[in-house]
Amino acid sequence: MHSNTPDNRPQQDVSQKNSALIPQTAAFFSQHELPATITRVTWLDRVLVNKMLNVLGNPPLQIKLWDGQIASSACKNPLAVVSFYDRGALLKIIIDHELHWGELYCSGRVKFEGNMTSLIEAIAHAVQARGKMSFLRKAIQWFSQRRNSNSPDKARQNIHHHYDIGNEFYKLWLDREEMQYTCAYFPRENMTLEQAQQAKLYHICHKLQLKPGDTVVEAGCGWGGLAHFMVKHYGATVTAYNISQEQVKFARQRAAEEGLNDQLEFVLDDYRNIHGQYDVFVSVGMLEHVAVQDYQELGQIIKKCLKPEGIGLIHNIGRIVKQPMNPWIDKYIFPGAYPPTLSEMMQVFEPNELAVADIENLRLHYSKTLQIWIQRFEQNLPLISKMMDEKFIRAWGLYLQGSRAAFNLGKLQLFQVVFNHMQNNAIPRSRLHIYQQELGEKTPAEKFH
């Protein structure tokens, strides 16, 4: 299903195009018109439209109904036009837009023209200015706090749902070198995605003070990019755990081809089965897939597997304000995932006497990463549409754009947490060492280009 190296896919470099996002996903499918329903538009439908816009804080948005007419009050400079193809769709959005928007958009019962990221941001700002939350949202929020633990079986299903949909698809829009499906690091303007992902990998290795001979355990290794990088550029020995079959298969094949098997082992297993002791523990983009009530157990595993003078790093999407996952994302994109607040994350560390040494918030770096992913995704729509159906593509476009809006709005954050055993006094004197290396080079990744 997938090729052996990440390089034999269409070459394009769109990272320089930092212009406003072009909403091509919707346009790409504009030829697939759904038959309009024959129900007549009534005055009540128009009242409902304007009531809904009022509840949303009157964002700069035009609403078209199934008669093809604009039903919303006059709006100067609309960011977007949303078309409803039947009354049911309109009612569903009115009841809970966060839950139903994704479903209706993906099935084509609602259509969208304009800049979706900007529109989501405008609605969020308008709703916040109004300061109201629907009873239903509150109820969902309350209910969602009673989350179930992700058992190893459930975790495997959840991960399979998102990561095993085909490496070829991910290759079309992730960086070419290490297929990093996590936030890149753009310390300087105008870095390409490839440079910024390399800079991220260096940044992590600098924080971990990685050196030749270090033993590393990685929990949740994606396509093995970080593990590969640590072996290749630092001479470390890495044992990387992952429960995504497709990803592990890809990573193992690459390691074998490059003759790295002695130093690079990929284990198709749950992080709960990590054993042995290591100089470094690292986990990038996995904590989001661990339920909060399992954090303390994760910390126990880290405590056990980290040598007395070892260093650990967790990199994950998080939040400032505790909130359940968007219900549509939870259902269709990332089942069982949850971005925690720092106070929730402390359950990994504090009960296990793991001392937080350093936390960095890279929120806007994820917005920039997503911007480039979206550009590449949209430029590759002709290829992607040969692999995936229309519903999938609409969903994916919505997920990427919605995520970018969430990072821009501060609804999502990106935390990098460095930690060590509480009693470890062999910790670095300061963080100068991280930046000594990064400032010594023009960009950390340039040496590879």
Binding residues for its own copies (CB under 8 A): 185-189, 320-322, 341-343, 346-347, 349-351, 353-361, 363-364, 408-410, 413, 421-425, 427, 429-432, 434-436, 438-439
Helix (H, G, I), strand (E, B) or coil at 216: strand
Q: In sequence order, what are the beta bridge partners of 267? A: 241
Of 68 and 440, which has the nearer Cβ to its own copies?
Answer: 440
Residue placing its CB nearer to its own copies in the complex, 127 or 387: 127
Instruction: Give the Cα separation of 155 and 241 in Å (integer).
Output: 13
CB closer to its own copies, 393 vs 414: 414
Angle at 225 between CA 168 and CA 258, to 5 degrees: 90
Nearer to its own copies, 96 or 358 (CB): 358
Least Cβ distance, residue 417 to its own copies (angstroms): 8
Q: Where are the alpha helices (DSSP H) in 56-192?
A: 87-95, 97-107, 116-130, 135-144, 152-163, 167-171
In the complex, the smallest distance separating the C-beta of residue 132 from its own copies, rounded to whole angstroms, is 16
Q: How far is the CB of 300 from its own copies (least distance, A)?
A: 15
When the beta carbons of 40 and 429 are compared against its own copies, the nearer one is 429
Pick between residue 237 and residue 316 the one whose CB is nearest to its own copies.
316
Closer residue to its own copies in complex, CB, 68/131: 131
Residue placing its CB nearer to its own copies in the complex, 16 or 273 = 16
Give the β-pairing of 237-242 and 264-268: parallel
Q: Which residues pair with 80 in a beta bridge?
A: 61, 114
Contact 143, 425 (CB under 8 A): no
Q: Which two tokens stand for residue 141?
A: 């929020």
Closest contact distance (angstroms) between CB of 115 and its own copies is 17
Distance of CA 21 to the CA centre of its chain: 18
Distance CA(235)–CA(237), nearest Å, equals: 7
Beta strands in 350-427 (DSSP E): 354-361, 413-421
Least gap, CB of 299 to its own copies (angstroms):
11
Q: Alpha carbon 428 to chain centroid distance?
A: 31
Distance CA 62, CA 75 (A): 7
CA dihedral 146, 149, 155, 158 (to 10 degrees): -10
Q: From the CB of 174, what's the least distance to its own copies, in Å?
A: 22
